[in-house]
């Protein structure tokens, strides 16, 4: 609200732009640490020290390249300065992620959560301070930089106290070659995923303008806040599924199918609620200036539904050392996304970008589904029936909403509440949740 659509558009562009370069600093190291250290905890210092050394070299090159590109693009001085500062925050984040991977490998996700709470609390209270002082856009970029540095310091302290020795540089060229060779497919997946999540904002900025980016980003940011649900879920099971691939593939298949069912049920529920409440949510959070964003939110929320279930597929492929499948799928979807943005943005503006995002994530789902059905982890008939049951529940809720609106009911809060109850009753009636599910869910919530 404080920055208005144009200022928020500049900040969103800068975050997207620096994020696209930030992924170049990892080369798949995060997933490698989690997967390999989860299997053998004694390897942690070897991985952390070698990867930190490699990153020192990479981040210098990446930051220089980013500064060169933003200057060549001809943006105003203010935008360039914001990119410079946010780029430095990406450098700190690159090293912080090494320790986040360490926490995940040891299945101590509470440290990751506390770090996120610390960083986001700083962003929140820092933003309130900036607003109260009437400071400008550059101040927000500086705030991101301070928050990222604080997170890195926190991560280092927690890691030294619990998991690793004090950080040091370590050069093992033979191990470096293995790291890069093994991590490149994880890295390629990350590159395409970041492009998929950010190229729309960059294209909107170039093809339309900062105000449009602000309107689109308002809806996109609201949707992306839901990422924590599948991310937390997958973070809690990835070390486990990586071990199950070695010890019990039947148990791995069981974990995959149950995970798919849970995130499908939750994703469809959230999609329905956000579709109903889009106008209220946008007005409540962003204010009257952003009302056009509600239309984008109605579309984008369904891309999030596909993200929920795609992450389950992705976790399976990474756990069985077939991360290259994820890379190919995301690469194809990113190509589609760029093409559809190029075709749709000139005519439909940010609604076109929203449609392109949904289509891209649907394509990932389709490719993952086909590949899983051809593998030894083929989904059982029961799981396929469960998909149909969830779609039936969605159809019934849609019909219920249509009937409610036909009676003259216009209160979106009331409609959403009643729809939630109807959805829950249908899920129970169709026996989608059993006693085994309840025990597993309790354990997952605890973890």
Residue 375: DSSP 8-state? S
The CA–CA distances, whole Å, from 388 to 211, 243, 425 equal 41, 31, 16
Q: Tell me, rounded to whole angstroms, the distance of Cα 203 from its chain centroid.
A: 20
Considering only CA atoms, which of 265, 263, 388, 374 is closest in space to residue 315? 263
**What tokens were used for 133?**
């002082």
Burial group, residue 210, by CB count within 10 angstroms (0-12, 13-18, 19+): buried
Taking 90 as the threshold, does the pLDDT of residue 178 lie above it?
Answer: no
Residue 261: which residues within 8 A CB-CB, separation 6 or more?
A: 383, 386, 432, 437
Give percent of the chain above pLDDT 90.
Answer: 34
Instruction: Give the number of residues written for the chain.
Output: 447
Q: At what angle do helices 249-286 and 435-446 cross, to 10 degrees?
A: 70
Overall average pLDDT of the 47-72 stretch = 90
Residue 290: DSSP 8-state? G
Q: Are the C-beta atoms of 265 and 432 separated by less than 8 Å?
A: yes
Considering only CA atoms, which of 68, 47, 60, 51 is closest in space to residue 90? 60
Dist CA 154 CA 115 (whole Å): 7
User: For 23-76, where are the alpha helices, taking DSSP H only?
Assistant: 29-39, 44-72
Burial group, residue 165, by CB count within 10 angstroms (0-12, 13-18, 19+): exposed
Q: What is the pLDDT of residue 141?
A: 94
Q: What is the pLDDT of residue 394?
A: 86
Q: Are the C-beta atoms of 337 and 357 separated by less than 8 Å?
A: yes
Considering only CA atoms, which of 107, 86, 93, 106 is closest in space to residue 154? 93
Burial group, residue 292, by CB count within 10 angstroms (0-12, 13-18, 19+): middle
Dist CA 239 CA 235 (whole Å): 8
Dist CA 54 CA 57 (whole Å): 5
| pLDDT: which is higher, 163 or 238 | 163
Band of pLDDT at residue 197, cut at 50, 70 and 90: confident
Q: Are the C-beta atoms of 51 and 33 separated by less than 8 Å?
A: yes
Mean pLDDT of the chain: 87
Count CB atoms within 10 A of the CB of residue 199. Answer: 21
Dist CA 344 CA 312 (whole Å): 30
Overall average pLDDT of the 208-218 stretch = 86
Highest mean pLDDT among 173-182, 201-210, 219-228: 219-228
Dist CA 312 CA 317 (whole Å): 9
CA dihedral defined by 46, 49, 53, 55, rounded to 10 degrees?
100
pTM score = 0.73
Band of pLDDT at residue 289, cut at 50, 70 and 90: confident
Least confident of 243-247, 409-413, 422-426: 409-413
Dist CA 59 CA 26 (whole Å): 9
Band of pLDDT at residue 239, cut at 50, 70 and 90: confident
The residue whose two tokens read 């990835």 is 238
Work out whether the CA dihedral 232, 235, 240, 244 comes out positive or negative. positive
Taking 80 as the threshold, does the pLDDT of residue 347 lie above it?
Answer: yes
Q: Tell me, rounded to whole angstroms, the distance of Cα 301 from its chain centroid.
A: 13
Q: What is the pLDDT of residue 352?
A: 94
Dist CA 434 CA 389 (whole Å): 14
Element (H, E) at 259: helix 249-286
Query: Reduced to 3 states, what is the DSSP secondary structure of residue 440?
Result: helix
Taking 70 as the threshold, does the pLDDT of residue 444 lie above it?
Answer: no
Dist CA 273 CA 415 (whole Å): 9
The CA–CA distances, whole Å, from 375 to 253, 320, 330, 378, 380 equal 11, 11, 19, 5, 12
Following DSSP, what letter does each residue of 100-120 receive, concatenated?
HHHHHHTT-HHHHHHHHHHHH
Overall average pLDDT of the 194-214 stretch = 84
Band of pLDDT at residue 65, cut at 50, 70 and 90: very high
Following DSSP, what letter does each residue of 179-231 receive, concatenated?
HHHHHHHHHHHHHHHHHHHHHHHHHHHHHT-HHHHHHHHHHHHHHHGGGHHHH
CA dihedral defined by 10, 14, 15, 20, rounded to 10 degrees?
140
């Amino acid at each position: 609200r404080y920055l208005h659509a144009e200022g928020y558009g500049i900040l969103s562009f800068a975050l997207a732009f620096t994020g696209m370069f930030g992924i170049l600093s990892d080369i798949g190291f995060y997933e490698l640490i989690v997967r390999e250290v989860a299997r053998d905890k004694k390897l942690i210092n070897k991985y952390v020290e070698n990867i930190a050394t490699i990153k020192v070299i990479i981040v210098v090159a990446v930051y220089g390249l980013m500064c060169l590109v933003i200057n060549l693009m001809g943006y105003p001085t203010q935008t360039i300065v914001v990119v410079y500062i946010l780029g430095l925050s990406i450098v700190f984040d690159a090293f912080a992620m090494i320790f986040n991977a360490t926490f995940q490998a040891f299945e101590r996700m509470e440290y990751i959560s506390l770090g996120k709470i610390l960083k986001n609390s700083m962003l929140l209270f820092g933003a309130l301070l900036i607003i109260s002082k009437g400071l400008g856009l550059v101040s927000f970029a500086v705030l991101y930089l301070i928050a990222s540095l604080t997170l890195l310091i926190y991560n280092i302290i927690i890691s030294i106290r619990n998991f690793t020795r004090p950080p040091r540089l370590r050069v093992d060229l033979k191990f470096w070659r293995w790291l890069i060779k093994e991590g490149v497919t994880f890295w390629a997946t990350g590159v395409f995923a970041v492009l998929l999540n950010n190229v729309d904002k960059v294209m909107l900025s170039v093809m339309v303008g900062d105000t449009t980016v602000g309107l689109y980003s308002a809806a996109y940011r609201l949707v992306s806040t839901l990422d924590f649900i599948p991310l937390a879920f997958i973070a809690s099971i990835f070390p486990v599924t990586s071990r199950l691939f070695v010890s019990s593939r039947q148990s791995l298949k069981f974990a995959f199918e149950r995970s798919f069912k849970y995130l499908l049920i939750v994703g469809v529920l959230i999609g329905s609620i956000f579709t109903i409440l889009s106008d209220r949510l946008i007005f409540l959070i962003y204010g009257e200036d952003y009302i056009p964003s509600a239309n984008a939110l109605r579309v984008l929320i369904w891309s999030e539904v596909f993200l929920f279930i795609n992450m389950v597929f992705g976790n399976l492929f990474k756990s069985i050392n077939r991360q290259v499948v994820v890379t190919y799928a995301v690469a194809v979807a990113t190509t589609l996304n760029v093409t559809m943005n190029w075709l749709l943005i000139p005519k439909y503006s940010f609604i076109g970008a929203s449609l392109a995002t949904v289509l891209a994530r649907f394509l990932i789902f389709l490719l993952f589904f086909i590949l899983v059905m051809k593998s030894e982890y083929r989904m059982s008939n029961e799981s396929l029936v469960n998909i149909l049951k969830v779609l039936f529940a969605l159809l019934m809720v849609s019909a219920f909403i249509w009937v409610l609106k036909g009676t003259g009911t216009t209160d979106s809060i009331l409609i959403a509440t009643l729809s939630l109850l109807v959805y829950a009753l249908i899920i129970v009636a169709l026996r989608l949740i059993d006693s085994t599910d309840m025990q597993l869910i309790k354990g997952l919530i605890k973890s």
